[in-house]
Amino acid sequence: MNRLIILSTLLLTSLYSVAQDRMTPELLWDLKRVGAAHVSPDGVRMFYSVREYDLKTNKSKSDLFVGDINGNPAKQITRTPATEADAQWSNDGQKILYLSDSDKGMNVFEMSWSGRDAKQISFIEGGINGFKISADGTKMLYIKDVKMNKVTAKELHEDLDQSNVRVYDDLMYRHWGSWEDGKRSHIFVADIVDGKVDGEGKDIMALEDYDAPLMPFGGMEQITFSPDSKSIVYVCKKKVGKEYAVSTNSDLYSYDIATGKTRNLTTGMMGYDNEPAFSADGKKLAWLSMEKDGFEADKNDIIVMDLASGTKTNLTKEMDMTVAGFIWGKDASTIYYKSVTEATYQLYALDVATKKSRQITEGIHNFTSFSLSGDKLIAGKQSMNHPTDLYLVNIKSGEEKQLTNANKAIYDKLKIGKIEKRWVATTDGKKELVWVIYPPDFDPAKKYPALLYCQGGPQSAVSQFFSYRWNFQLMAANDYIIVAPNRRGLPGFGQKWNDDISGDWGGQPMDDYLSAIDEIKKEPYIDEERIGAIGASYGGYSVYYLAGIHENRFKTFISHCGLYNLESWYGTTEELFFANEDIGGPYYGEKIPEGYIKNSPHRMAHKWNTPMLIFHGEKDFRVPLNQGMEAFQALQLQDIESRLVTFPTENHWVLSPQNGVFWHREFYGWLDKYLK
């Protein structure tokens, strides 16, 4: 009996060991997620967050770690059940300030950089959502929701307190994953007295029916104190309803704290203006700017304004690349920025005087965040195979030194598939970069099923991102070869390549997909009888479209939150500037854009003949649920094997751990049924 127990234990241990040498959905959620590095004012120390997820409780928590910039082991300084949000250094570098829960809601706390002596320093009723301290330490700005409009029945009629009716008179009544609730995010400024915030601050946007920062994804990177602590510069799109829905025209506003006066710094600049940052000497202001109103994927340039003269200079105008983020150097002569090139995000140095740019890093990876530390940058780096860790990057040489290895215990046991960079000829005589990801223990003598990955966006690079849903290493671990093309409409290959998708969703981009899979499937190790196509958002649209034109190339499809019927989508989505730019305007009128005829997948649903799995979030207001429902109904009525999986609490993404694992189980169960 004892021998049987021992043998059974050894067998279970062996099976567990084998299971853990490849990525699994559960293991994916076990990975620790390293946040951006925050360098102390003296450049000696840094702190960063590490977020961990608990599959059993379906929750996550984040803790802070402090270390030096030389790569010595960092020390965990928080272990509370709460998350220390929006953490930042105090001006003297001796303390860390952060948001945490209090009896009044989220408020500001401080602790020593060693994690001791934590105490609350703001006591703002109802809580706040973000904050910054002025350079002279006398003021704090913070953002807080302010009720501006009545939208519910019980707000309009107090006697109907059990009613849940909502009432709207304009567009933008819902946005991404939230219904309009009548609240606006406003900026407040308060005095700091004896180390504490002195009561409630002044609402610098009082009576304004606008949000700052931009909702729902804008953060404190859109608001900044001037170095002399006398003014605040913030991003705002001062439009409401229909005007907001059809425009991307945000502006930078400067608020003078002493006089209370506000002025627009970007009048006449018609696209997105974002992420203002002062040079250390306070003489210049830089920001990211798009030129065209209504085009959210326009080229992002770095604009610098001389504050004395008001002169604005576009530093990257002549560069055929788009900027994804920047920081000032230690003086006003250099700006460091991030940009995508050939499907990787690299770091660059820009000489302000000459407008000349130099690439600092190279390699098959993405840099995510980055901070300045003397003559080095501390940057987050990831790839399709590895989640983010922090690296010290030498600005002159580009040499990298790894500072964190948060998931070493897991990755020491994992077998990793190879990533290959291929160039494929397109139907119009150009070349597209295609990533091919192979299974661990790949054997070229075997035959493997393959997946064509269709990217969303639509203008979003198939770069070296590490996704916790569309995880290529997890797909490869299930013995699939992944073909991931950088089709037309993606940044990193010049602005024309990026722009060519607008108005042509179902044209050249689809040809690019087919060129990629037709070329790669010629390899003897790919079984062309076992190929599927998968994707989300525009990638989900691509799946619906390919289902009508694929000529039996694919044996199954999976679409997540895909656009199916462009007419009904236009009538239910919220940020209409996107549809106006990429589709050509509304589907009604004397002259209907031809995109509704040639680019809408629902017009080819009668040609569908292939099994399809559809995922959709019920709170997705960018690509509303009816898109998935309409596609599923077309499949069912034509007796095509299909399944619809909806997520009542998820929006355009799947963000909770247990929903994420369920998504993966359905995903691989479906693929295995038709491709294995």
**DSSP string for residues in 432-468:** EEEEEE--TT--TTS-EEEEEEE--TTT----S---S
Phi, psi of 478 (to 5 degrees): -90, 20
Q: How far, CA to CA in Å, does 100 sit from each of 48, 51, 216?
A: 16, 15, 21
Out of 86, 298, 500, 620, the active site residue is 620
Residue 390 bridge partners (DSSP): 380
The Cα–Cα gap between 628 and 617 comes to 9
The Cα–Cα gap between 199 and 180 comes to 29
> Is the separation of the CB atoms in 482 and 450 below 8 Å?
yes
The Cα–Cα gap between 358 and 299 comes to 19
Out of 175, 550, 652, 664, the active site residue is 652
The Cα–Cα gap between 663 and 609 comes to 24
Phi, psi of 432 (to 5 degrees): -120, 145
**DSSP string for residues in 185-202:** EEEEEEEEETTEE-SS-E
The Cα–Cα gap between 312 and 613 comes to 51
Out of 537, 542, 600, 642, the active site residue is 537
Phi, psi of 362 (to 5 degrees): -155, 165
Tell me the one-letter amino acid at 43.
G
The first and second tokens of residue 235, run together, are 């991003």
Q: How far, CA to CA in Å, does 17 sit from each of 30, 200, 415, 589, 668?
A: 16, 56, 12, 63, 21
Q: Is residue 386 among the annotated active site residues?
A: no
The Cα–Cα gap between 392 and 404 comes to 10
- Cα radius of gyration (the chain): 26
Q: Is residue 652 among the annotated active site residues?
A: yes
Q: Is residue 479 among the annotated active site residues?
A: no
Tally of CA atoms within 13 A in the half-sphere of 615 that contains its CB: 27
The Cα–Cα gap between 320 and 318 comes to 6
Is beta strand 178-179 parallel, antiparallel or unpaired with respect to 174-175?
antiparallel
Q: Is the dihedral of CA 362, 473, 517, 617 positive or negative?
A: negative
Q: How far, CA to CA in Å, does 459 sit from each of 38, 343, 463?
A: 30, 12, 12
List CB contacts of 324: < 8 A, sequence separation 6 or more.
300, 337, 338, 339, 340, 345
Tally of CA atoms within 13 A in the half-sphere of 319 that contains its CB: 23
Helix (H, G, I), strand (E, B) or coil at 668: helix
Phi, psi of 263 (to 5 degrees): -135, 150
Helix (H, G, I), strand (E, B) or coil at 96: strand
Angle at 594 between CA 591 and CA 600, to 5 degrees: 130
Q: How far, CA to CA in Å, does 383 sit from each of 132, 348, 367, 654?
A: 32, 18, 9, 21
Long-range contacts of 88-95 (CB under 8 A, 24+ apart): 88/38, 88/132, 88/133, 89/38, 89/39, 89/40, 89/41, 89/47, 89/113, 90/133, 91/41, 91/133, 91/135, 91/137, 92/41, 93/40, 93/41, 93/42, 93/44, 93/45
Residue 535 bridge partners (DSSP): 454, 559
The first and second tokens of residue 112, run together, are 């020593």
Count CB atoms within 10 A of the CB of residue 414: 18
Q: Annotated active-site positions, please?
A: 537, 620, 652
